[in-house]
Amino acid sequence: MQFIDLKTQQQPIREDIERRIKAVLDHGQYIMGPEVTELEKRLADFVGARHCVSVSSGTDALLIAMMALGVGPGDEVVTTPFTFISTVETIALLGARPVFVDIDPRTYNLDPNLLQAALTDKTKAIMPVSLYGQCADFQAINAIAAKRGIPVIEDGAQSFGATHRGEKSCHLSTIGCTSFFPSKPLGGYGDGGACFTDDDELAKRMQQIRVHGQDRRYNHPLIGVNGRLDTLQAAILLSKLDVFPEEVARRAAVAEQYRKLLDGKVVIPFVEEFNTSVYAQYTIRVDARDEVAAALASQGVPTAVHYPVPLHRQPAFASLGYPDECFPHAEEAARQVMSLPMHPYLAVADQVRIAEALKAAVAR
């Protein structure tokens, strides 16, 4: 049994992927070829945004979004300590200070009730993460941000395809960012990502920043990066996108099956009634997590921990000066969370096996 099964996913679309790759090999426009433009158009339509700027990774999407908003030294960017390192390392790379707000323990996302108190005159942006495939509470967050005119960037690396109050993830705030890392809900076969916005000016800036800050060849109004998505990767993502809506539905069905098997036995994911999740991870909470994970491993059931260390405790961020115990909900989640195998093609028989092994492990 695999944690994520990319091979099964590939089988029905393999021929289409090969056809698209061959087309790229034939036309030879490996950088910013026609597939990139086609993918951006289709992604923008999917999300409902005016603009999609494809980029080289989810990390670069966050970096380029913040660069377009002018985040730099002396600024503060408010975010969550319970996320993948990218969210926070990009803030620090720009010389800005990450300011952490604890999570809502039910959703694992930034708690809007704690947001106001974290804002200062230096707050340049708010960057909530839509963790495990469920959007943060953008309606509440946007309302607080709007009062002070602060832009909001969604780290939607795990939530592409999810919805919040009927709107798609990545179209919920000033800029939405996502990742096409192979294991993400919409994954390519390498690195990739995208930024989405309805703001024409921001879109133009992000397009320029992605290509060394240039507006035309050898003319650089901005400082930028090499942040383009490869044409080959765009070709693969076009094939993946064809089956993506069906896969989102399959993910929901797998999650529903898990709920039937596990509700009341362990703490299962909680999804707000105004959200739909794409279950990038199916993450539960258990006591003695590491023992339970070892018991499952001995039964051939792979699990993962997203994430064992909240970021204010990472050595790289020690200089921020946060004491260990200052975000109790993030700390407790880091001790208890465990992600079970999750992908659109997970068989019910495997889920039953996982559930049996899990119930036996937590009963010990």
Ligand X SMILES: *Cc1c(COP(=O)(O)O)cnc(C)c1O
Tell me the three state secondary structure of residue 274: coil
Near ligand X in 73-112, by CB under 6 A: 83-84, 86-87
- Report yes or no: 194 and 177 within 8 Å, Cβ to Cβ: yes
Q: Whose Cβ is closer to ligand X: residue 292's or residue 338's?
A: 338
Q: Whose Cβ is closer to ligand X: residue 176's or residue 262's?
A: 176
Q: Whose Cβ is closer to ligand X: residue 76's or residue 191's?
A: 191
Q: What burial class does residue 148 get, using C-beta atoms within 10 Å of its C-beta: 0-12 exposed, 13-18 middle, 19+ buried?
A: exposed
Task: Kindly write out the interface string for residues 230-269 of this chain, putting x where it contacts ligand X by CB under 6 A and - elsewhere.
Answer: ----------------------------------------
Query: Rounded to an integer, what distance in angstroms lies between the CA atom of residue 59 and that of residue 51?
Result: 19
Q: Stretches 153-161, 211-219, 242-250, 356-364: which one binds ligand X (CB under 6 A)?
A: 153-161
193 in contact with ligand X (CB under 6 A): yes
Q: Whose Cβ is closer to ligand X: residue 151's or residue 193's?
A: 193
Least distance in angstroms from the C-beta of 195 to ligand X: 12
| Residue selected from 35, 76, 104, 191 as contacting ligand X according to rule CB under 6 A | 191
DSSP state at residue 218: T
| Residue selected from 76, 155, 230, 247 as contacting ligand X according to rule CB under 6 A | 155
Q: Which residue is nearest to ligand X (CB)?
A: 58
| Residue selected from 107, 173, 179, 336 as contacting ligand X according to rule CB under 6 A | 179
Write the DSSP assignment of 150-180 as a string of letters.
Answer: --BEEE-TTTTT-EETTEETTSSSSEEEEE-
Please confirm whether the linkage preceding 307 is cis (ω < 30° from 0). yes
Helix axes 14-27, 34-47, angle to 10 degrees: 130
Q: Whose Cβ is closer to ligand X: residue 129's or residue 202's?
A: 129
Write the DSSP assignment of 124-136 as a string of letters.
Answer: EEE--B-GGG---
Q: Whose Cβ is closer to ligand X: residue 255's or residue 262's?
A: 255
Residues 6+ apart with CB under 8 A from 345: 5, 8, 9, 250
Near ligand X in 128-147, by CB under 6 A: 129
Q: Stretches 111-119, 154-162, 204-212, 213-221: which one binds ligand X (CB under 6 A)?
A: 154-162
**Residue 304, beta-bridge partner list:** 339
Q: Stretches 111-119, 141-149, 152-160, 289-297: which one binds ligand X (CB under 6 A)?
A: 152-160
Query: Rounded to an integer, what distance in angstroms lies between the CA atom of residue 50 and that of residue 298?
Result: 49
> How many C-beta atoms lie closer than 10 Å to residue 222's C-beta?
15
Q: How many residues bind ligand X (CB under 6 A)?
A: 15
Q: Whose Cβ is closer to ligand X: residue 46's or residue 181's?
A: 181
Q: Whose Cβ is closer to ligand X: residue 46's or residue 108's?
A: 108
Find where tokens 């993450």 sit.
Answer: 283
Q: Provide the binding-site residues for ligand X, judged by CB under 6 A.
A: 57-59, 83-84, 86-87, 129, 155, 157-158, 179, 181, 191, 193
